[in-house]
Amino acid sequence: MTANLPPQYDPQATEAKWQKYWEDNQTFKADPEAGGEPYCVVIPPPNVTGSLHMGHAFEETLIDVLVRYHRMTGRNTLWLPGTDHASIAVQTILEKQLKAEGKTRHDLGREKFLERAWEWKAESGNTITNQLRSLGVSVDWSRERFTMDEGLSAAVLEAFVRLYDEGLIYRGNYLVNWCPASQSAVSDLEVDQQEVDGHLWHFRYPLTDGSGYLEVATTRPETMLGDTGVAVNPQDDRYKHLIGKTVTLPIVNRDIPIIADEFVDPTFGTGCVKVTPAHDPNDFEMGKRHNLPFINIMNKDGTLNENAGEFQGQDRFVARRNVVQRLENDGVLVKIEDYKHTVPYSERGKVPVEPLISTQWFVKIEPLSQRALEALDKSNSPVFVPDRWTKVYRDWLVKLKDWCISRQLWWGHQIPAWYAVSETQGEITDTTPFVVAKTEAEAREKATATFGNDVQLARDPDVLDTWFSSGLWPFSTLGWPDETKDLEFYYPTTTLVTGFDIIFFWVARMTMMAGHFTEKMPFDTVYIHGLVLDENGQKMSKSKNNGIDPLLLIGKYGTDALRYTLVKEVVGAGQNIRMEYDRKTDESKSVEASRNFTNKLWNAARFVMMNLEGQTPQQLGIPHRPQPALTEGGREEGLELCDRWILSRYNQVVQQSRNSLETYGLGEAAKGLYEFIWGDFCDWYIELVKSRLQQDAEPNSKKVAQQTFAFVLEGILKLLHPFMPHITEEIWHTVTQTGDDQCLALQAYPEADISLIDTDLEQQFELLFGTIRTIRNLRADSDIKPSVKVTAILQSESEKERQIISDGGVYIQDLAKVENLTVTASLDADLGQTIAGVVGTVQVLIPLAGVVDLVALRAKLEKKLSKVEAEIKHTAARLTNQKFVDKATPDVVQGARDALAEAEKQAEILRDRLKLF
């Protein structure tokens, strides 16, 4: 029985089938004991709270293309999946649930709250991993990790204790990003910089000696209550004489010094800036440089504290209005300007963050960053693709400050520090002594040795920044700190694929942690991809509500179509791509085009299989390679001209695909395959060999055509598999008639046979195809019916061109419906009525006598021209009518202009055609 595919391709059924097959059969399960050259990727762990967005789909598709390709080249491949516990996001979800129940986390207590968190994780925390499955990612699900699973939690404890024992973790006061809504410190990455329409308030600080005043400006007037200085640039001649004097702070009536600091930009505003060291990161550094007092005026809930005097207890924004009113009443408010500026918002709390001095845990960055810098400068490790990100990464390592790693949350890795609260009246204070240990038993042993048997211990309630655990991700997921087989074989990992926006926050932390704990960089290469922009070229974001749901597009067009679109759109590594999308219909022309490509491949494969007479590529064998010899009937015994051409093109695309994928040119590889499959194979080769597949075809020629057909089709499926894994797997199983014990995903990626690449032959076929296209166009222009065969005269002064055309004459005759073909160096004086075209330096002529009714054709063209000219006249009249132009919408007017231009173009074409008759 002849194997074949159903008439219609059903992406949903096919994709679900193979996703289940791969997972059920553990097709992608890695084995470190199998040896070979490792290729390892750890997934950038999505938040456990997340759902699949277009950025995920883009990133995971890029990774999957690389992983599937390297697996097929024979490398021992591991793609390790997992998720991040997302402290702030999960806690926010749970606290919203509790609020709806009229409760807070404190009503439950820590233990019950964490029980509820783990229940949520069990019920809802696997949403994104299940959605990742719909992308067909070739991960090893047996190795799936979670940043708070037992093994990774042990790695976090090991890292913290080791860093603390080495003096690289400390507890101290420092300025942090504080979210009043979640009442926690947040990292820079958890801050969303939003441009807002605000105000700039100007007010005067009187000189204490009564000789005048200084004018300052601020966007946060309430912070003036904590000012401890005014700064000017030391080179600013306007203020040099005032340096060292004091001003009296309005409202508070505190005398504060005028200091000189090069940080001050003398061209900004008045050249004077207020200094609030406890509430601004730049002022914090100035305060340290000049030994200014640090006065905190704010509570952790965003209200003002006792240092704010009469404004104590007021919310920061209420206090802002009241402070401004008081300054106006006191006569020191100069003016209020509208001012557009950037305000940092807490991503989860959705409120502006406050720079706040707080007692937190910190990692000393310099020793860690120096090791990472040394690896970069001495060994160019890791390698960044594109290379321009190397400097960005290096600059960031140089500028890094100590890292605040504590968060005032309950969900996460609790800091392994125990305080001897019996030394500070049962409370944890800034001065309470503590011990650091992996377990409470170990902590008690340490504390007892110092404070005696009666010591009372309380564990630090804070948890670690999630970036601490994800900084260990490349090696903790492989079993570190244990010496596992996975760690020994697959570490360092090979490639990290990630976005440019977390080079600083994640990539740098992984290289620093890995350099310190493993003395190796955690990956060889960092491939930085761009963003998926919306249909207007804008970055997708929740605030703009302009996201595009990949699951919706998968449901409409299929996973392979979406994957292929995302990769094919990439022009150069690291570039942004734009996703075409119609929000009214939820349709995408670009994804639809890729869906059409899957249909084209499906139909081509069906045609090939219908003409293989039930034989598989393996049964047919590889096409003969010897130079062809002519049989008595004039046919070639071995490879014919078009067979040699398609094999040359095929091996060219194999070579190009390998080169592109090895150098991260994923988009270039995808486009090259598209052009080869759709153009060379489907549009040309299939048409070229149809006559050789007929029942009465010459047997040797037919067999060679079948061999070539089957060989190239199977090669295409292998080449395309990393990009479109589902449809290629389905077709491959059908065409090879392979059972369930094998799959395409584990087959060898094609290698180019250089001996079969013939660039001269490819150029010859370009001329043949150009000639065929020209004859087809001339036929269409002359309304020659498809069933009518014509005479074609091809004239060229080039002997080489004439030889090429003669050699390929049978193809021209077959595909352009030419009965009589003449190839000549010169033309007869009188050829009668002809229609002519040019391809290269070849003139193409078709005599029309006896083929078309010239009188009827001319009448038909004149009628068309008359209709188009009437349309031009009508449209031009509308556009010269000022009432129409004034009253119609801009879209309608532009539409009329476009219609006029199109009609004028049609008229020009019709006039040119009429000249021929």
The model's pLDDT over 540-569, given as tens digits with 9 standing for 90+, comes to: 887 788 999 999 999 999 999 999 999 999
pLDDT for res 860: 82
Name the residue type at position 416.
P
Is pLDDT above 50 for 629?
Answer: no
Q: What DSSP string describes 756-804?
A: G--HHHHHHHHHHHHHHHHHHHHHHHTT--TT--EEEEEE-S-HHHHHH
Q: Could you tell me the two tokens for 845?
A: 């002529």
Section 196-217 average pLDDT: 93
Among candidate residues 914, 902, 896, 785, the one with its CA nearest the CA of residue 860:
914
Q: Is 259 helix (H, G, I), strand (E, B) or coil?
A: strand
Between 267 and 228, the higher pLDDT residue: 228
Indicate left, alpha or beta for 74 from its phi (over 0: left) and psi (-120 to 50: alpha): left
Name the least confident of 153-157, 389-393, 587-591, 827-831: 827-831
Among the ranges given (328-332, 529-533, 555-559, 911-915), the one the predictor scored with the smallest mean pLDDT: 911-915
Q: What is the mean pLDDT of residues 874-898?
A: 88
Q: What is the pLDDT of residue 578?
A: 92
Rounded to whole angstroms, the Cα distance separating 855 from 847 reads: 15
* Contact assessment for residue 58 and residue 20, using Cβ atoms and an 8 Å cutoff: no
Distance CA 279, CA 292 (A): 13
Distances (CA, A) of 335 to 23, 69, 232, 331: 67, 64, 21, 11
Tokens of 653: 């695309």
Q: Please give, one letter per residue, the 3-state secondary structure of 133-187.
A: HCCCCCCCHHHCEECCCHHHHHHHHHHHHHHHHCCCEEEEEEEEEEECCCCEEEC
* Distances, alpha carbon 344 to alpha carbons 182, 499, 506, 886, in Å: 15, 21, 20, 46
Q: Which residues contact 549 (CB under 8 A, 6 or more apart)?
A: 53, 54
Q: Give the model's pLDDT for residue 917.
A: 66
Q: Convert the pLDDT of each residue in 649-699 to its tens digit.
A: 999 999 999 999 999 999 999 999 999 999 999 999 999 999 999 888 899
pLDDT, tens digit (0-9, with 9 covering 90-100), for 415-468: 999 999 999 999 999 899 999 999 999 999 999 999 999 999 999 999 999 999
Q: Which helix (H) or strand (E) holds 341?
A: strand 333-346
Task: Report the pLDDT value the prediction gives residue 1, as an integer from 0 to 100.
Answer: 45
Tell the burial category of 740 from Cβ atoms under 10 Å away from its Cβ (0-12, 13-18, 19+): exposed
- pLDDT beyond 60 at 485: yes
Q: How confident is the model at residue 817 (pLDDT cuts 50, 70, 90)?
A: very high
Q: What is the pLDDT of residue 494?
A: 98
Distance CA 11, CA 13 (A): 6
Distance CA 161, CA 167 (A): 10
DSSP string, 502-556: GIIIIIHHHHHHHHHHHSS-SEEEEEEE--EE-TTSPBP-TTTT----HHHHHHH
Could you give the 3-state DSSP secondary structure of residue 364? coil
Query: Residue 630: which pLDDT band, with cuts at 50, 70 and 90?
Result: very low
Helix (H, G, I), strand (E, B) or coil at 415: coil
Residue 492: left if φ>0, alpha if ψ -120 to 50, beta else—which one? Answer: beta
Spatial CA neighbour of 65 closest among 889, 657, 870? 657
What would the pLDDT profile of 279-303 be if each residue is shown by its tens digit? 998 999 999 999 999 999 999 899 9
H/E stretch holding 248: strand 246-249
Query: Residue 626: what pLDDT?
Result: 47
Compute the C-alpha angle 909/914/916, nearest 5°. 105
The token duo for 616 is 């598989």
**pLDDT (0 to 100) of residue 744:** 98
Of 36-45, 51-60, 263-272, 828-837, the least confident: 828-837
Encoded tokens for 360: 């937190």
Stretch 614-626: mean pLDDT, rounded? 83
The pLDDT of residue 634: 37
The overall longest dimension of the chain from CA atoms, in Å, is 120
2 pLDDT band, cuts 50/70/90, is: low
- Helix, strand, coil percentages (3-state) for the chain, rounded to 5, are 50, 20, 35
| Distance from C-alpha of 533 to C-alpha of 543, rounded to nearest angstrom | 14
Question: pLDDT-derived band of residue 862, with 50, 70 and 90 as boundaries?
Answer: confident
Amino acid of residue 633: G
Binning pLDDT at 50, 70 and 90, where does residue 624 land? low
Q: Give me the percent of the chain exceeding a pLDDT of 90.
A: 75
Of the candidates 320, 209, 287, which has an alpha carbon nearest to the alpha carbon of residue 255? 209
Instruction: Read off the pLDDT of each residue in 377-385 and give the average, rounded to a whole number.
Output: 96
Indicate the helix (H) or strand (E) that contains 444. helix 440-451
Higher pLDDT pick, 388 / 628: 388
Q: The dihedral of CA 277, 278, 279, 284: what is its sign? A: positive
pLDDT in tens, 486-512: 999 999 999 999 998 888 779 999 999
pLDDT tens column, 318-364:
999 999 999 999 999 999 999 988 888 887 678 899 998 889 999 99
Question: Worst-scoring range by mean pLDDT, 42-51, 562-571, 854-863?
Answer: 854-863
Mean predicted lDDT score pLDDT of the chain: 92
Q: pTM, whole model, 2 decimals?
A: 0.86
d(CA 710, CA 746): 19
Cβ(176)–Cβ(355) under 8 Å?
A: yes
**Cis, bond preceding 206 (omega within 30 deg of 0):** no
Query: Computed over its alpha carbons, how large is the radius of gyration of the chain?
Result: 37
C-alpha 224/C-alpha 289 separation (Å) is 20
**Coil vs helix vs strand at 402:** coil
Please determine, for residue 3, whether its predicted confidence score (pLDDT) is greater than 80: no
Q: CA neighbours within 13 Å on the CB side: how many for 399?
A: 8
Average confidence (pLDDT) over 775-787: 87
Confidence of residue 637 (pLDDT cuts 50, 70, 90): low
Per cent of the chain over pLDDT 70 is 97
Question: Does the pLDDT of residue 627 top 80, yes or no?
Answer: no
pLDDT bucket at 847, cuts 50 / 70 / 90: confident
Q: What is the pLDDT of residue 92?
A: 85
The phi, psi pair for 170, rounded to 5°, reads: -145, 165
Name which of 606, 767, 737 is nearest 682 in CA terms. 606
Residue 244: count other Cβ atoms within 10 Å of its Cβ. Answer: 9
Note the pLDDT of residue 632: 40
Task: Tell me the pLDDT tens digit for each residue of 706-764.
Answer: 999 999 999 999 999 999 999 999 999 999 999 889 999 999 999 999 999 999 999 99
Sole residue written with tokens 């004859």? 775
DSSP three-state, residue 207: strand
**In angstroms, rounded to a whole number, what is the distance separating the alpha carbons of residues 488 and 486?**
5
- pLDDT value, residue 635: 43
